[in-house]
Chains A and B, each alone.
Chain A
Amino acid sequence: GENVEQHPSTLSVQEGDSAVIKCTYSDSASNYFPWYKQELGKGPQLIIDIRSNVGEKKDQRIAVTLNKTAKHFSLHITETQPEDSAVYFCAASAYQKVTFGTGTKLQVIP
C-alpha cells in the first residue's frame, strides 16, 4: 500500500517568514495530493490540492509543488501569520483511498 512520509514533525517560524513542509510517497499510482490543516479539536480542512498532471499550484500565500519522478511534494506558506499555527497533513490518493502523512505542527511566533 501507499506510504507517505512527512517532514519536519514540528516547525517554528517568525511571523512573516516562510514555512516549507515536505512529503514523499511510495505508490506511483497516486495521482491526487491534498494538503489539510487541522486545528485543535477539529477535523482536517482542505487548504490546497494538486493533481499529478500539474507541477505547481498557488493560492494566495499557499503553494504546492509536485515532482512525480522523485515522488516528492511540498507545501510552501509565505508571509506566515499567527492564525497559520496548526497541524498540517499531506496526503496521497490512489484507487480512491487517501493516505495521510504523520503531520507537521507549525507554530508561527508573533
Chain B
Amino acid sequence: DTGVSQDPRHKITKRGQNVTFRCDPISEHNRLYWYRQTLGQGPEFLTYFQNEAQLEKSRLLSDRFSAERPKGSFSTLEIQRTEQGDSAMYLCASTLDQTEAFFGQGTRLTVV
C-alpha cells in the first residue's frame, strides 16, 4: 500500500451535474477525513468516518453533498447539482486512531 489514493485527479463538470469522487485510504487506517481546499487557503474540514460510521459533518457540507464509507474501507463523496462555488480541491486523509494523518493527492473539481 503506497498511501492514500484519490480518483479522479481532475474533474471538469457543467453546472447542475452530479459528480462522485473516490478515496482509498491506507488499508489499516480506521479514520477517514474529507477536506475542501480553495486557492490560497488551508484545507477546510468537511466530514469524517471512523470505520463505516460518519461521526461528524461540517456546516460546509450542504444537503447537496453526501459521503459514504460503506464497508469501512474506501469512501465516496458525491456532490449533486454542482455549482460554480463547488470548484475546489477535495482532499481525503486517513489515520489510525490519533496518529498522523496522511493525505491523498486530491481531486481538483472545476465547475463550468
Give Cα distance in the complex from A102 to B103, angstroms: 17
Give Cα distance in the complex from A101 to B35, angstroms: 13
Cβ-based interface call for B104 (8 A):
yes
Are A96 and B100 interface neighbours, CB within 8 A? no
The segment from B14-22, B39-47, B70-78, B79-87 found at the interface with A is B39-47
B41 to chain A: which residues have CB within 8 Å?
102-103
Quick one: which of A62-110 are within 8 Å of B by CB? 89, 91, 93, 96-103
Cβ-based interface call for B26 (8 A):
no
User: Given the interface contacts A96-B31, A96-B48, does A46 sit within 8 Å of B100 by beta carbon?
Assistant: yes
Are B100 and A49 interface neighbours, CB within 8 A? yes
Are A98 and B33 interface neighbours, CB within 8 A? yes
Give Cα distance in the complex from A102 to B40, angstroms: 7
Give Cα distance in the complex from A97 to B40, angstroms: 21
User: Given the interface contacts A96-B31, A96-B55, does A46 sit within 8 Å of B102 by beta carbon?
Assistant: yes
Q: How far is the CB of A40 from chain B (nearest CB, A)?
A: 11
B27 to chain A: which residues have CB within 8 Å?
none
Q: Which residue, of B4, B50, B91, B103, has the highest number of chain A Cβ atoms within 10 A?
A: B103
B4 to chain A: which residues have CB within 8 Å?
43
Give Cα distance in the complex from A40 to B103, angstroms: 14
Produce 1/0 per residue, B57-70, CB < 8 A to A: 00000000000000
B48 to chain A: which residues have CB within 8 Å?
96-97
Cβ-based interface call for B101 (8 A):
yes
Partner of A45, one of B33, B44, B103: B103
Give Cα distance in the complex from A45 to B100, angstroms: 10
Give Cα distance in the complex from A41 to B43, angstroms: 14
